[in-house]
Structure 1
Amino acid sequence: MSIPDFLVASHIVPWKKDEKNRLNPHNGLCLNSIHDKAFDRGFITITPNFKIKTSDYFKDYSKENAVLDFFIKHENQSIILPDKFLPSKDFLDFHYNNIFHK
């Protein structure tokens, strides 16, 4: 097993919500498994200016080391952008407004 085994291709706008953009490379992020699940469930998002945002849901767990290490410490950090196929700002905005638990 190698590090790439822990990385997954995540849809920004979920597969079931937008059939025409399912295969659009601008509707994707490369995330690790735990962040993929949190992103899909709206506990984290990426803003249109490519910053990580964590849900207020985590405030009740902010003293938990795992929550701090996996989520809270990444708040407002910039993501590493790909060389091509930047995530669409419109798709990121959709995720922030429709999926993310503020």
Structure 2
Amino acid sequence: MSHSNDIRAGEIKERLNNNEPLNLLDVREPIEYHTHNIGGLNIPVGKLAEHIAQLPWQYNDEIIVICKVGLRSETAKSILEQNGYQNVRNLIGGILAIEKLQSI
């Protein structure tokens, strides 16, 4: 389990502010996603394996995985890597870390 390529909320916020297109995969439940999200595809982690073939990305694309605090996205990162995705980054601290930045 490597954390070396994971991403911090500050970097995501900066890249979103620059209107950089990001490949975001939010693995929370739909109700959580609809309450607050920063965009991206919403596939709950429990359903990710069965939907992996429908993902719109290439195996070497950067994919940023998001959940509430970073635990479910860590699991989702492993699922993606086991399926051949090579550039998956977990959002450290999850959506809560983004919310903290926005309230500063």
**TM category, shorter:** 0.3 to 0.5
TM-score, normalisation: structure 1: 0.32
Larger Rg: 1
* Greater share of residues in strand: 1
TM-score, normalisation: structure 2: 0.32
